[in-house]
Structure 1
Amino acid sequence: MKIAMIGQKRIPSREGGVEIHVEELSLRLVEMGHEVTVYNRGKKGFPHNREYHGIRIVTVPTINRKSLDAPVYSFFAAVHALFGRYDVIHFHAEGPCAMLWLPHLFGIRTVASIHGLDWQRSKWGNFASNFLLLGEKCAVKYADELIVLSQNVRQYFKDTYGRETLLIPNGVNRPEIRKANLITQKYGLRHGCYLLFLARIVPEKGLHYLLRAFAEIDTEKKLVVAGMSSHSDGYTDFIRKMAAKDKRVVMAGFVRGPELDELFSNAFLYLLPSDIEGMPISLLEAMSCGCPCLVSDIPENTEVLGPFGYTFRKGDPEDLRQKICSILKEGPSADKAVQARKYVLKHYDWDLVARETARSAYRNVKAEGKDTG
């Protein structure tokens, strides 16, 4: 089949879960013999590649402002895709789904993947939130197949719209467990001497809860904060000011490659204090490395973590502080971490994700749709 992907900022990239998902899915679809075109968002300072490991890349213009980025990009991408003679156009994330009606109008079959209920995220203003909600409704009304990543979001669409969905979660690659080397040279970090937060620095990830809790904990261990801002520069400045008050906090910024592997492989504890999630890839990655995990008790986190880690009450810095103190005192369960690694590598695999997407979403679209090629 000829398949188009619309929604991610760009690939290759680790800017967010959508970007990782689209890249991993597209690579495997190409290996299966499909023709895949990915529509990247143009941005100054980023290369405009035309091909990536067999994936065709089309870069479309956008306006790099928080409220206009997704609407402008997704409009131009959807219009361009109308002339691509694709068998299916696969939209990712709620914002870009607002343009899903265009290929539907022209009889082109569509799939929508909802990576989270984005309109709930506090970083968006009224215009952006309404646009995201419009995208959600367009996906419900026009998508031939609607994919969600978690059981909680699946239930949301059934209760709110009466719409049945396909549940296909994120995946993870088998990681390389690395000894502390780069992180020792760069930050002075050694195995087991630090706690790790690794996610985008946006309000819904709850980093402010963690910094508040960590400030009141008597420990020599450091807290490593790894991640980049995403349309939330004001919040990032706020976080940097909070972090500057505690010398134990290491602001590592955006990390990838061997440095990322080392951070996961050597952390004493991985923390994800989020208020809202789609399905956290960083949590899957931490578990796949055998890293003990403490997360907020929202369904999207607990569905992934299962019985293999620790939870605290969402939005409660004091409960978070107490849970961290308890784990520091007693030590994390090595047995849980080992079980978590085995479970994740067995059940959350990108090869499985790609095969299920092709089998359940694309095959149905191909069978039901008219010949577009």
Structure 2
Amino acid sequence: MKIAMLGSKGIPFPGEGGGVERHVEELSVRLAAAGDEVTVYVRPHLIRERGQWRGVRLLGVPSIPTKHLDTITHVFFSTLHALFGGYDLIHYHGVGPSTLAWIPRIFAPRAKVVVTFHSQDRFHKKWGFFARLFLDFGEWTAVRFPQATIVVSHALQSYCRKRFGAKTHYIPNGVAAHPKPRAELLKEFGLAAGEYVLTVARLIRHKGIHLLIEAWRNFPTDLKLVIVGAPSYTEDYQQYLQELSRGDPRVKFVGFQSGEMLAALYAHAALYAHPSESEGLSLSILEAMSYGTPVLISNIPENLETIDHSGFAFQSGDVADLADRLAAVLKDGAKRKSVGERGQAFVKEHFAWDAIAARTRRLYEKLV
């Protein structure tokens, strides 16, 4: 099959990227390895790679690189290009990009159109009133414009059924099997195995990093709090987090990380904390669990779905409860170890990328 991927910032996974970019990367390389001809449309101001990358064609298409116009203009120009690409299938990622999925339905009717509904983006706190209205409309287009809609969590599937009466296909995010990386890599940041709590997220408000820092300030411990991530048109929030943690040397911002360093940070943390207030299905939680690292997550349905009693939870948005849970979980090393091992087995069984890519390909084949 000849497949186009639209809606992400691009691959290889960029520093400004999030779960959508990781999802597109992991899915695309596996489809290419299965023999499909896959093109990912990338944003030239973020992605330097061009041509073939791990069997995937990377095609740079311009955008207007501002907070509100970057995604939609990139998807619009990519869609126009895709009309003449001879694709069997055009796959839009995200509810915002799905608002343009009508174009190939009309002007390239031979191509089948799929949308992945990754999250309810209108709840992301970086957006203003009109942007949220647009993203609300995007939820409707995500289930009405394509021939098939994929959702990454059962919570989103239930939402689409109740609000829109729409049938969707549940295919979650995933993780790959990893060897445990060397703890010596941590020395670059002055860290040691088991002596820090980790969180990994874009520095945007709905990820709740400020809640974690507030809880940490009132939590007596010698452990470090390590924050991995970069802003996404949210430099003001990044500055707020730095001000919030000022004077506490236990809090370390290490910026965007990838590859073996990120793997080492996940694998050797005493605990992974994820205080997000809105998600689709968090890849960061799954990644942490894949290394056997226990997780403490906010109790929103999309997060609870990832652990299935194989992790710890706190009341979303409640700083006092987060602090209490941190204290209780970090005090019991034996329980953390057993929960981490259970979580690792759970994600291996239910969230393996190879199986997820195969399920996605079977859906494509039914459509084509």
Give the TM-score band, short-chain normalised: over 0.9
**Any conservation in 2 of the 1:176–1:261 contact (CA below 8 Å)?**
no
Q: Corresponding residue for 2:264? A: 262
Alignment partners' CA distance in 1, 2:129 and 2:43: 23
**Any conservation in 2 of the 1:99–1:135 contact (CA below 8 Å)?**
no
Alignment partners' CA distance in 1, 2:171 and 2:290: 18
Unaligned runs of 5+ in 1: 367-373
Give the secondary structure class of the aligned counterpart of 2:305.
helix
Counterpart of 1:180, as a letter, is: A
Counterpart of 1:22, as a letter, is: V
User: Which stretch has the larger CA shift, 262-271 or 124-133?
Assistant: 124-133
* TM superposition shift of 1:180: 1.6
Q: Corresponding residue for 1:336? A: 339
Q: Calculate the aligned-residue CA RMSD, in Å.
A: 1.2
* TM superposition shift of 1:48: 4.5
Given the alignment of the two structures, is residue 120 of structure 1 paired with residue 123 of structure 2, yes or no? yes
* Count, aligned residues: 363
Q: Corresponding residue for 1:220? A: 222
Q: Corresponding residue for 1:160? A: 163
Q: Corresponding residue for 1:275? A: 277
Q: How does 1:283-298 map to 2 (within 5 A)?
A: 283-298=285-300
**Any conservation in 1 of the 2:12–2:49 contact (CA below 8 Å)?**
no
Given the alignment of the two structures, is residue 23 of structure 1 paired with residue 15 of structure 2, yes or no? no
**Any conservation in 2 of the 1:179–1:191 contact (CA below 8 Å)?**
no
Q: Corresponding residue for 1:130? A: 133
TM-score after normalising by structure 2: 0.96
Alignment partners' CA distance in 2, 1:147 and 1:258: 31
* TM superposition shift of 1:308: 0.9
**Any conservation in 2 of the 1:216–1:321 contact (CA below 8 Å)?**
yes
**Any conservation in 2 of the 1:208–1:239 contact (CA below 8 Å)?**
yes
Give the secondary structure class of the aligned counterpart of 2:99.
helix
Q: Corresponding residue for 1:369? A: none
**Any conservation in 2 of the 1:111–1:147 contact (CA below 8 Å)?**
yes
Give the secondary structure class of the aligned counterpart of 2:237.
helix
Counterpart of 1:346, as a letter, is: E
Give the secondary structure class of the aligned counterpart of 2:90.
strand
Alignment partners' CA distance in 1, 2:306 and 2:55: 31
Counterpart of 1:268, as a letter, is: A
Unaligned runs of 5+ in 2: none
TM-score after normalising by structure 1: 0.95
Q: Corresponding residue for 2:12? A: 12
Alignment partners' CA distance in 2, 1:346 and 1:135: 32
Q: Corresponding residue for 2:41? A: 39
Q: Corresponding residue for 1:86? A: 87
Give the secondary structure class of the aligned counterpart of 2:252.
strand
Q: Corresponding residue for 2:198? A: 196
**Any conservation in 2 of the 1:67–1:127 contact (CA below 8 Å)?**
no
Given the alignment of the two structures, is residue 327 of structure 1 paired with residue 333 of structure 2, yes or no? no
**Any conservation in 2 of the 1:201–1:229 contact (CA below 8 Å)?**
yes
Counterpart of 1:281, as a letter, is: L
Q: Which digits, 9 at most, give the CA deviation of each residue in 1:255-314, with x for residues without a partner? A: 111111111111011000010001111110100100011000011111011111100000
Counterpart of 1:327, as a letter, is: V
Q: Give the fraction of aligned pairs with identical amino acids, expressed as a percent.
A: 40
